[in-house]
Chain A
Amino acid sequence: MIETFELTKKFGEFTAVDRVSISVKGGEILGVVGPNGAGKSTLVKMLCTILAPTSGTATIMGLDIAKDSQKVRSIVGYLPEEPRVYDYMTAEEFLTFFADVYGNGRQRIPELLEFVGLSEHAKRKIGEYSKGMKHRISLARALIHDPPVLILDEPTMGLDPASSRDVRERVKEMRKGGKTILVCTHYMDEADFLCDKLAVINKGRIAAIGKPEELKAKVAKQRYLTVVIKEDALMRKLADEIGGEIDGRRIIVRVKGLNSTVAKVHSASKKLNATILSVKTLEPSLDDVFVAVTKGGRWV
């Protein structure tokens, strides 16, 4: 279990993480999403005790990250943004080294290599691996000591779609084993697929936190209609008539009352002799949630 209370990190005058309070239960995956430079990696590094917080507290499985940092590191598996590997070691040597440093895990090496699909390449030097393979051996390294808590920073960054899906599947499998997992990502489809809960972080602060459906519902309080007509030339006039905006091949109009708005659209189209091809309500995706929360205002 991970809990933070007003966790803050400042670098001089710059506040990278500003009073972040989050909670992740056992067997749960929390996604921390945010734009580049939002403070995700800094938050992760504090939880892994690589950086000391400026203020606030955090506990992992009841252990304080400041006071019990060594114990925290023994129960956390950390996967950084880019694979950090020793190119001159083989996969087996690499895992054996970290197993020795953690003081356990040697017996798990064959199982882990199988888990990440690298059994056949165990005796090859990691320097010869592709990027996807390096990611996978990095994941195996994070799991070597069977940690109850996993912290994954952008686990699929730079991977092709097949490798990305592979890693996501493995992360979901680990959740079944009861592990507490925190995933940092800026891929919203990944967050939607993996996470039980999301925390949107922007400029160091938590802008929104909750289950994906809850966040969508929050944002979707303001509903919109999309209108597509046959006559491109009439789009501008129709948009002006109904108080909407053109977005590519569609017009987006804010809904004040669903029935009245739909009626207004039909009435305006008739007046202009425009042929309506479709009128739909617009449901926010997580990407829309992200934009709405981080940029403020409308989610379209």
Chain B
Amino acid sequence: MGLGTMVWWGLRTIVSDRRFLLSIAVGMLISLMTIPLLMNAVSSFKEGNLLSALPISAGMVKIAVVGDHPIVSELEKNSMVEVVSTDEATAMSLLDEGKVHGVFIVNSSGGSFIGRGIPLSNLAESAVKDAVDKFLRKDVKSSFNLKSDLGLEGLLRSLLAPFLMLTPLFIWSLPVIQSIAYERDNKVVEVLFATPASRFEILASKILTNLIFAMVLGALWMYLVQFFGLNFSNPFGVYIVLSSMALLIITMNALVSSIASNPNEATLASSISSTIIITMFFSIAILKVFPATEIAAKLSPATYIAEQVSGESTPFPFNLMLVIYIITATAFLLTLSAFSTEAFAFSIKPGLVQLYEGMLEILKSKRKAAFAMGFVAFSVTMPVELVAIGLVFFIIGPSVFILLLSLTVIEELLKAVAIYVLKPKKVKEGAILGGLIGLAFGVSESLLLAPIIDIMVLVRVVPILIHSVSSGIVGVGYAKKQFILALLIAITLHMAYNMYLVWQYR
């Protein structure tokens, strides 16, 4: 009775806010009007590298060519590439001085490309090198068509789809922020807590209310965009993905609102978290543009939306959806923990330690809390690792060792934070709690990587075991007051396994 009633009243409240509904309607109308403009812009892009559409990219890649070769005319067609024809000594001198990004030397076997790792142009350089290599091997139709069977226009159209479908979620997920932050700010939450409705029902009703609202708008939006050229091969699949993303963002907004100091801070913080989520998934989807990184794009549900628009027949990403639901469930648990804190009962912002105490109050078991913390650590790891990957490529370059080391350190550190919060007192307790954290983390990671690591299930058990063991070591180390040493051992063990994998599958 309580849950249904509160959802009904929540929807009534949203629907009675005419100003909010009007702003959504206007936003949707404006977005619909811009779709044809964007599609026209896409059509006017020249065939070639995606970046060639941008005026700033003209002459972004400078190549020195020594000798005469048909690739020169191919390179010159691409506005992103500036060709300097010269002799070998001058070319190598230009390369050493950093004035060109690479030298193509024509020889009896066709040619060879010598590149130079200059930051900023790494991606462009690798694309050029890739195209040159393929040209030499003669296994592509055209040097710089990034996805030649699709065509650039089709590819860009399909990338626009997730952008157009996901960004309205910013607005559709706002009601939950106001609901929680407002009730805490004016302390109505106290009288709600004094009703027979449980804290679970109160929180679930707020999230469900916003989800229903977002799903109705999502269905309407999907219906409308098809009149403007966005058609989906599997509309039901896209709708599930869109609704799942909405649920994730709404739940994250609920979490942020529960721990913010006031409604203004809640709105700001929720905007930031929504931006991070959408940007993260969209950025991963963009990787589909480049052949070298296409496989990594499968880590984003936005890619599925893009593929549906492009007409590709791709399976529904069940594993990925499971990961999204795990992260959503984790965020829900943390929000419920906030609702269960004593600070919340006094309408005060709960701290992180109190969040953990709230979680213990719900789960009633330190071991269950440890398992849940493993999922929390995993959820936080994803955006942090994405930033780390970008920084490593930007600052150092494509170094596998540095990349793996940074990811390993991030993962072990975040799991160690979970152990630090749990504060195991005995060695056995530390081992068990650490092991549980690692287990949850490993399971989530395996689910996430399943689409891109095509290996036997049995082999996937090993990474889960490594995570459990390494976190168990840190747990034991905490109990024995040798936390740092244990962390270093865990990082070493984990890194050793990663390097073994690289060596094994090189």
- Residues of A bordering B, CB below 8 Å: 11, 45, 48-52, 70-71, 73-74, 76, 78, 80, 82, 84-88, 97-98, 100-103, 141
Taken residue by residue from 1 to 28, chain B's Cβ proximity to chain A (1 for < 8 Å, 0 otherwise) reads as 1100110110001000000000000000
Q: Does B499 contact A (CB under 8 A)?
A: no
Contact yes or no, A84 B1, CB < 8 A: no
A73: B residues at CB distance < 8 A: 194-196
Q: Does B71 contact A (CB under 8 A)?
A: no
**Bound CA–CA A45/B345 (angstroms):** 9
Q: Does B186 contact A (CB under 8 A)?
A: yes
Known contacts A50-B190, A84-B186; decide if A100 and B13 are in contact (CB<8 Å). Answer: no
**Bound CA–CA A35/B6 (angstroms):** 37
B195: A residues at CB distance < 8 A: 73, 98, 101-102
A103: B residues at CB distance < 8 A: 1-2, 196
Contact yes or no, B196 A85, CB < 8 A: no
- Residues of B bordering A, CB below 8 Å: 1-2, 5-6, 8-9, 13, 186-188, 190-198, 342, 345, 361
Contact yes or no, B196 A74, CB < 8 A: yes
B1: A residues at CB distance < 8 A: 100-101, 103
Contact yes or no, B342 A100, CB < 8 A: no
Contact of A51 among B191, B196, B345 (CB under 8 A): B345
Contact of B191 among A71, A74, A141 (CB under 8 A): A141
Contact yes or no, A101 B198, CB < 8 A: no
A98: B residues at CB distance < 8 A: 191, 195
Further pairs besides A45-B190, A51-B345: 19, Cβ < 8 Å: A45-B345, A49-B194, A70-B198, A73-B194, A73-B196, A76-B194, A82-B187, A84-B186, A84-B187, A88-B13, A97-B5, A97-B9, A100-B1, A100-B9, A101-B2, A101-B5, A101-B197, A102-B196, A103-B196
Contact of B193 among A11, A50, A141 (CB under 8 A): A50
**Bound CA–CA A45/B193 (angstroms):** 10
Query: Closest CB-CB distance, A14 to chain B, in whole Å?
Result: 12
Closest-by-CB residue of A relative to B191 is A84
**Bound CA–CA A86/B13 (angstroms):** 11
B342: A residues at CB distance < 8 A: 11, 51
Q: List 22 A-B contacts (CB under 8 A).
A: A45-B190, A45-B345, A48-B193, A48-B194, A49-B194, A50-B190, A50-B194, A70-B196, A73-B195, A74-B196, A76-B194, A78-B191, A84-B191, A85-B186, A85-B188, A97-B9, A100-B1, A100-B8, A101-B2, A101-B192, A103-B1, A141-B191
**Bound CA–CA A71/B198 (angstroms):** 11
Contact yes or no, B2 A84, CB < 8 A: no
A88: B residues at CB distance < 8 A: 13
**Bound CA–CA A78/B2 (angstroms):** 18
A70: B residues at CB distance < 8 A: 196, 198
Closest-by-CB residue of B relative to A72 is B196
**Bound CA–CA A80/B13 (angstroms):** 24
Contact yes or no, B196 A101, CB < 8 A: yes
**Bound CA–CA A166/B198 (angstroms):** 33
A101: B residues at CB distance < 8 A: 1-2, 5-6, 192, 195-197
B8: A residues at CB distance < 8 A: 100
Query: Closest CB-CB distance, B350 to chain A, in whole Å?
Result: 13
B2: A residues at CB distance < 8 A: 101, 103
Closest-by-CB residue of B relative to A11 is B342
B192: A residues at CB distance < 8 A: 101
| Top 10 closest pairs, chain A to chain B, by CB | A78-B194, A100-B5, A74-B196, A84-B188, A84-B191, A48-B194, A50-B193, A50-B345, A73-B196, A101-B195
Closest-by-CB residue of A relative to B205 is A101
A87: B residues at CB distance < 8 A: 186
Query: Closest CB-CB distance, B168 to chain A, in whole Å?
Result: 25
**Bound CA–CA A11/B1 (angstroms):** 34
Query: Closest CB-CB distance, B222 to chain A, in whole Å?
Result: 31
A45: B residues at CB distance < 8 A: 190, 345
Closest-by-CB residue of B relative to A104 is B1
Query: Closest CB-CB distance, A46 to chain B, in whole Å?
Result: 10
Query: Closest CB-CB distance, B13 to chain A, in whole Å?
Result: 7
B9: A residues at CB distance < 8 A: 97, 100
A11: B residues at CB distance < 8 A: 342
Closest-by-CB residue of A relative to B195 is A101
**Bound CA–CA A101/B13 (angstroms):** 15
B187: A residues at CB distance < 8 A: 80, 82, 84
Closest-by-CB residue of B relative to A75 is B196
Query: Closest CB-CB distance, A68 to chain B, in whole Å?
Result: 11
A76: B residues at CB distance < 8 A: 194
**Bound CA–CA A85/B195 (angstroms):** 14
Query: Closest CB-CB distance, B366 to chain A, in whole Å?
Result: 18
Closest-by-CB residue of A relative to B5 is A100
**Bound CA–CA A48/B188 (angstroms):** 15
Closest-by-CB residue of B relative to A80 is B190
Query: Closest CB-CB distance, B361 to chain A, in whole Å?
Result: 8
**Bound CA–CA A51/B346 (angstroms):** 9
**Bound CA–CA A78/B345 (angstroms):** 14
Query: Closest CB-CB distance, A6 to chain B, in whole Å?
Result: 20
**Bound CA–CA A45/B361 (angstroms):** 17
**Bound CA–CA A181/B194 (angstroms):** 16
Query: Closest CB-CB distance, A180 to chain B, in whole Å?
Result: 16
Closest-by-CB residue of A relative to B9 is A97
Closest-by-CB residue of A relative to B13 is A88
Query: Closest CB-CB distance, B324 to chain A, in whole Å?
Result: 31
